[in-house]
Each structure stands twice: as structure tokens, then as C-alpha cells.
Amino acid sequence: MTTQFKKTIYIILAAILGFVLNFIVHGAIEIPVLYLFQKDFEKYGLGLDWQIWVLIHHVGSVTLVITGIIFGIWLGFRWYVILYDNKGNLRKQYEFKNIFNRCKYSKKN
């Protein structure tokens, strides 16, 4: 497997991970909000009607999906540099002793 192909697969899988994590964040936000709306919509609805809240939900959902994918891509690039050397080989375990210095050092490569 070539280095570029390995890096591409790694970043695509990290983007998919970011997309999946987006749903966890979405649920963590939406479930408590819907619980409060169901409890007392007049009090917790901020004076907005359901059509506005649906619009807020759609805009927020799209924003979360885009943010999740961008975060996944960033995470893929970041961790690829940490885990693999310039030839695409997995780094040895002893090279991970100070991972944060490795990140700063690897940006120069």
C-alpha cells in the first residue's frame, strides 16, 4: 500500500469518525432541549413558535455535520503525522514518549 493511499484512507476514516461523533453531540443537545420544550414550551420556547425552532434545528444540524467532518479531517491530518513517519511506516512505541513535542517537531517535516 502506498503512503499516499494510506494517508488518504486514514483521513477519510477520520472524517467519517467526525461525522459519527456529530450525531452524539447532536443528541446531547437535542434531547434536553426537547425535554424542556415538552415540559413547558411557553416558558422555555423563548417566545418563538415551532416553525422558527424547526429552522433553528435544520441550520444547527447542517452546521454540526460540517463542523464534525472538518474536525475529523483535521484530526486525521494531525494524528497521521503523529503515528506515521515520512515513509508511511508506523512509528515505534518508544518514539511516543513525549507526544506533544513530536507534534510540534513533525510540522517541520
pTM comes to: 0.70
State how many domains the chain has.
1
pLDDT at 107 over 50: no
**Gap between the Cα atoms of 10 and 74, Å rounded:** 11
pLDDT at 6 over 50: yes
Q: What is the pLDDT of residue 98?
A: 55
**Gap between the Cα atoms of 8 and 4, Å rounded:** 6
**Gap between the Cα atoms of 50 and 72, Å rounded:** 32
Q: What is the pLDDT of residue 93?
A: 60
Q: What is the pLDDT of residue 95?
A: 56
Count other Cβ atoms within 10 Å, centred on residue 106: 16
Alpha helices in 40-49 (DSSP H): 41-44
**Gap between the Cα atoms of 73 and 16, Å rounded:** 9
Q: State mean pLDDT over 84-101.
A: 63
Query: Which domain covers residue 32, as residue numbers?
Result: 3-106
Instruction: Count how many residues are written for the chain.
Output: 109
